[in-house]
Structure 1
Amino acid sequence: MRSRVELFETIRKDRTREDLSIRELADRHHVHRRTVRQALEAAVPPPRKVYPPRLQPAIAPWTAVIDGWLEADKLAPRKQRHTARRVWQRLIAEHQAAVSETTVSRYVARRRVELGLIRVEVSVPQTHLPGAEAEVDFGELWAGTGGTPVKLWMFVMRLSCSGRAFHVVFATQAQEAFLEGHVLAFQHFGGIPGRIRYDNLKPAVTRVCKGRDRDESERFIALRSHYGFDSFFCIPGITGAHEKGGVEGEIGRFRRNHLVPVPAAASLAGLNELVRAADLADENRVITGRHCTIGAAFELEKLTLLPVPTEPFDPARLLTARVDSRARVSVRQSFYSVPARYAGRRLTIRLSASAVQILDGSAMIAEHERAVGRLTECLVLDHYLEILKIKPGALPGATALVQARRSGAFTAIHQRYWDAVRTAKGDAAGTRALVEILLAPRSMPAAALTGAMDRAVAGSVLDPAAVIIDARTHTVNHIAPVVPIGALSRYDRPAPTLTAYDQLLIGSRP
């Protein structure tokens, strides 16, 4: 039985290819016209009840035992290895397992492929038509971000005909990164290939069935429906890797040529700038056996790609989280700050591969670049200013202050003003004066305040109100610009007149 997402995909394809009416689509698919309208409006069906994943209680307790026997078979003579029936017989005899032979044979067949116990098949060279196919995979890499080497994941989409590839680095290979990689790749290519090859990535496949049948993730089906491409899943294990050898080789080639030595960047965004520059450089590369550059071949293939929809697919995932007593929300084992007044509240999180947006209803109250690694804190000093005004002694050791210094938001000028005002007024009063000035950028440019603090230290006029007044006088762009009276003339309208009505009354008299 098809899911609603697959039904929506079929309806959208029938409308695009055959231009059927809503009534015709409803009759063809035996659904209400309301369902057809929902499918045409969006690739994702309206939310419905989420059921927990189905368990496998029969085979789950014995998977470790079976895997051990199959691993031992690698050292055993080929004709004296376990058959699926022998595995089932041993489970019954030695472990008194209550499991059917069919369940065991299906598991053993899948694990043999995954463990490489099946003989490798010979690969057949392929010729790919322009715009017909692409391949997708993730590759592992190490990079220095913020001075610390971390393991990252590189999403790669490679067009099979021209060899043009798109690379982007994420902190994770979760579903939001998988989906966002597709969106960015289609924008980069300016088109969509007719079919894309995958291995059995968890963001796309929830269960590997017999042969090439797969139970697919509904978010992936929605992405495929939105962009209108077809998918092809390779055989599990090393045999399936040869079915998408283009992208497998591209990951290793790109890593050797552009990521050696280990690259270093201040942030993930900076690392992706290096990756984009490498993609541009590769356009002049000539693949062995071909007679033109990748860039020239892509210009011809681009004409055959499917058009990209005007509205991009939203790859973000919506979550909810409660703000803790430190004004942080925990998302995927990392912590992100929000304004302190939201402590104890449950907020909505819009999680993408590169950013974390925190919402109160429809209003976005905080936005952070996605953290790299686990148990990482991403704190904004501005979120704690109201609390620091009450607790000034917490500022010198605040983690948010350390991160603000590292990012350049808290400059040497801030520090000089803070030192001077604490010397003049004492630690508590001086820190409160600094906090009062730090609150001002919410209503005026931060650069103007920085210049005013510098002048305040030079002139020994440290009162925060005077600093704010000085910054306001040096602000170039006013918050409420003055509009010349002449600019409003286009809104002038003539005064109403009743002449036509009077003439109507005069003409009606006898």
Structure 2
Amino acid sequence: MATHSMVVVSGTGSRVELFAAIRRDARVEDLSIRELARRHQVHRRTVRQALTSAEPPRRKPPARDAPRLGPFTAVVDAMLVADLDAPRKQRHTARRIHDRLVDEHRAELSYSTVRDYVRRRRPEIAVERGRVAAVGMVPQEHAPGAEAEVDFGEVWVVLDGVKTKCHMFVYRLSHSGAAVHRVYPTCGQEAFLQGHVEAFETFGGVPTRHIRYDNLTSAVSQVLFGSGRRRTENPRWVLFHSHYGFDPFYCQPGIDGAHEKGGVEGEVGRFRRKWLTPMPDVATLDELNERIVGWEARDLHRRIDGRLRTVGQDLETERPLLRPLTADAFDPGLVLTPRVDRSALVTVRMVKYSVPARLIGRRVRVSLQASRVRIFDGRTLVADHPRRIARTGSVVDLDHYLEVLAIKPGALPGSTALAQARACGAFTTAHEDFWIASRRVNGDADGTRQLIDVLLLHRSHAAEDVIAGIRAALTVGAVTADVVAVETRRHVAAGGASPDRHPADHVLDSEQRAGRSERVVSLTMRRLLDPAAVIAGLPPDTRPLPSVAAYDQLLTGTDHTTPTDPGGSP
């Protein structure tokens, strides 16, 4: 006697098995519909469905009515219609609609009921009123080397211990998906142009067709509504894209044009989530951008969804098809011409930057770049500072004030320039030790002037060579700038000090290899017969001590010879 297993319906897969069992029993045993229904414990309607088709019919989800909302649907629709002509940032949210229904109409509705209705009706009303067409996307093909997209995105960085809001410039090639990312303290025109320059140099060329943009104020002065994609462009931006030979393509204003450069919109979020989460902790933005270059190299090995080749492989195909760069470089900085004040400072965007004191009272040319402030006297670069992110404060270079401090040495201890030099590490412990020793021997004023002369050596020698000269001079007890200069030149001639040896030891070894034993030494150590003389490498001094016997004769009166005048008078 044949046995039959019972099938329990618990899902779509079980219904498929149930239909298969019914069809098998009907085919093998030729059972009636009533018998099949009894055996499988289902309704005869289900048996007829199984015999008609092997695939179970799809179950329709039950329509969930909201009877309490029914009397208020017309009110909600009226609010959504009014939103079509309201400013984008002053349109009703589902929360606001719910609050109005409760306050104005005493409706007893849950927020989720109103939210679900608004979510469904808002796009329907827009289509019904002819404001938008039915939502749909058309796949696009981007030829290699033809197009790119640009956008800015906000990022937060722990910069030198302070949580700081910065701006990430993103340039993305449309065909390969390769992108350049740079973080700047601003999203102004100087950062906009600087990002382009770095992206062009990274990829070695410019797209041949166009680059897609939002209507950024760095590029667009005015959107001419009703005239298609015509824009009034910023003159410097016109000069820039004319210099590099590409055409800008401006997307529709607002959210309606976001899909026109969806590649870079998604790239901003992807890169921020993958590499900038959690917030990077760096000392400077230059350090962060160096890390970003490494992250971009790793991103070349990823595959975009639906593509067989990696981003790097597609980039190698696209790179030769880009238009080559022009031979002339373009300065992306914003040009300003401030006047130097009495403190040898120029004010740029509310921040003060120092210049050499000789330029006090003159106008200089400033190139304000995304991360640097370059200052020129004519065509000569006289100062190059990192751009300060804060809107106030100052960036001061101690070297710019050395000539003034030589006249006013008492101004050095409390100066802003010295404080910033200490903070950035330019004024090292070697300088501090020399200054302390020099003031102890030469006095405050002259000792500080000796330090200033030492600081002037940095203009003609590398910092590590001057520091080695300072340490060598301090080793032999000399606290004059002339000795430091001699030791610095000896250190340079010796090829520099080994990092694990004292600079003075290196100089001594080089002199011994050259067959010389003379060095700049302390006269005090030469006079004193103590072990320090041996440590300093000094030969013993065998000369007799000086005698004052001749002067003692004058005191005892033994010599009575008296000179006479030419006339013979005593």
Normalising to structure 2: TM-score of the pair?
Answer: 0.62
Give the equivalent residue in structure 2 for 1:507: none
2:190 aligned with 1:176: yes
Residues of 2 paired with 1:83 and 1:464: CA distance? 75
1:186 matched residue in structure 2: 200
Cross-structure match for 1:436: 453
Counterpart of 2:320 (choices 299, 303, 311) is: 303
Matched residue SS, 1:321: coil
Number of the residue aligned with 1:137: 151
Offset at 1:81?
A: 6.7
Name structure 2 gaps, 5 residues minimum.
1-75, 88-130, 496-570
**Distance apart, 1:79 and its partner CA:** 4.1
Match of 1:453 in 2: 470
Q: Distance in 2 between matches of 1:295 and 1:142?
A: 28
1:295-321 deviation per Cα after TM superposition (whole angstroms, max 9, x unaligned): 011111223222222223332232100
Contact 1:121 1:239 in 2 (8 A): no
2:241 is aligned to: 224
> Aligned in 2, Cα 1:300/1:387: closer, same or farther, shift over 3 Å?
same
Match of residue 160, structure 1, among 162, 168, 174 = 174
Deviation per CA, 1:347-376: give whole Å up to 9, x if none: 111222232221112222111122222113
> Are 1:206 and 2:209 counterparts?
no
Aligned-residue sequence identity (percent) comes to 48
In structure 2, the CA distance between the partners of 1:432 and 1:236, relative to structure 1 (3 Å rule), is same
The one-letter amino acid of 1:181's match is: G
TM-fit CA distance, 1:202: 0.5
Q: Which amino acid aligns with 1:224?
A: H
Partner residue in 2 for 1:274: 291
In the TM superposition, residue 424 of structure 1 has moved relative to its aligned partner by: 2.5
How far off is 1:332 after superposition? 1.5
Residue 163 and residue 314 in structure 1: after superposition, are their counterparts in 2 closer, same or farther (change >3 A)? same
Query: Any idea what the Cα deviations from partners look like across 1:170-189, whole Å, max 9, x if unmatched?
Result: 22111121112112111111
Q: Does 1:197 align with 2:212?
A: yes
Q: Secondary structure at the match of 1:287?
A: coil
**CA distance in structure 1 between the aligned counterparts of 2:77 and 2:439, rounded to whole angstroms:** 72
Q: How far does residue 466 in structure 1 lie from its aligned partner after superposition?
A: 2.3
Q: How does 1:54-453 map to 2 (within 5 A)?
A: 76-79=79-82, 122-193=136-207, 194-210=209-225, 211-453=228-470
Amino acid across the alignment from 2:292 = V
How many angstroms apart in 1 are the aligned matches of 2:134 and 2:235?
A: 32
User: Using the alignment, how far apart are the partners of 1:393 and 1:448 within structure 2?
Assistant: 27
CA deviation after TM superposition for structure 1 residue 165, in Å:
0.6
Tell me, in whole angstroms, the C-alpha distance in 2 between the residues paired with 1:299 and 1:323: 49
Q: Does the CA-based 8 Å contact 1:150-1:373 persist in structure 2?
A: no
Write the letter of the residue equivalent to 1:395.
L
Deviation for aligned residue 1:221: 1.7
Secondary structure at the residue paired with 2:338?
strand
Partner AA of 1:187 in structure 2 = E
Partners of 1:290 and 1:195 lie apart in 2 by: 23
In 1, Cα distance between equivalents of 2:132 and 2:366: 45
Q: Unpaired segments of 5 or more residues in structure 1?
A: 1-72, 85-116, 479-510
Select between 405-414 and 419-428 the one with higher mean Cα deviation.
419-428
State the Cα distance separating 1:162 from its structure 2 match.
Answer: 0.9
SS in 2 for 1:475: helix
After superposition, what is the alpha-carbon deviation per residue over 1:202-240, rounded to whole angstroms, capped at 9, x for unaligned? 111000012321111122222222222222111111111
1:52-105, CA deviations, whole angstroms, 9 ceiling, x for partnerless residues? xxxxxxxxxxxxxxxxxxxxx999442487589xxxxxxxxxxxxxxxxxxxxx
**What amino acid maps onto 2:148 in structure 1?**
A
Change (3 A) 1:399 1:205: same
SS at the partner of 1:163?
coil
**3-state SS of the aligned residue for 1:134?**
strand
Q: Which residue type is aligned with residue 479 of structure 2?
A: L
- Write the distance in 1 (CA, Å) between the matches of 2:132 and 2:407: 68
Could you tell me which amino acid in structure 2 is paired with residue 204 of structure 1? A
User: Does the 8 A contact of 1:445 with 1:475 survive in 2?
Assistant: no
The aligned residue for residue 97 of structure 2 is none
Tell me how far apart the structure 1 counterparts of residues 196 and 480 of structure 2 sit (CA, whole Å). 54
* Residue type at the aligned position of 2:387: R
SS at match of 1:382: helix
Query: 1:447 deviation in Å?
Result: 2.6
- Deviation (angstroms), 1:121: 5.0
Deviates more, 1:221-230 or 1:250-259: 221-230
1:404-462 Cα offsets, whole Å, 9 max, x none, are 22322111111111122222233333222211211122233333321121122222211
Range with greater deviation from structure 2 (379-388 or 400-409): 400-409
Where 2:316 maps in the other structure, the secondary structure is: helix
1:383-414: CA deviations, max 9, x gaps?
11122222223222222222222322111111
173 and 75 in structure 1: CA distance in 2 versus 1, 3 angstrom threshold: farther
Q: 1:30 aligns to what?
A: none
What residue number does 2:502 align with?
A: none
Distance 1:179 1:343 in 2: 31
CA distance in 2, matches of 1:209, 1:285: 40
> Which amino acid in the other structure matches residue 303 of structure 2?
V
- Structure showing greater radius of gyration is 2
Amino acid at match of 2:235: E
In the other structure, the counterpart of 1:470 is 487
Alpha-carbon distance between aligned partners in 1 of 2:494 and 2:475, rounded to the nearest angstrom: 25
In structure 1, C-alpha distance between the alignment counterparts of 2:184 and 2:286, rounded to whole Å: 9
Q: In the aligned structure 2, how far is the partner of 1:199 from the partner of 1:121?
A: 21
Q: What letter matches 1:458 in structure 2?
A: T
SS at match of 1:401: helix
- Once residues 120 and 473 of structure 1 are traced to their aligned partners in structure 2, the CA distance between those partners, rounded to angstroms, is 81
**Residue identity opposite 2:267 in structure 1:** E
| TM-score, normalization by structure 1 | 0.69
Q: Which amino acid aligns with 2:483?
A: A
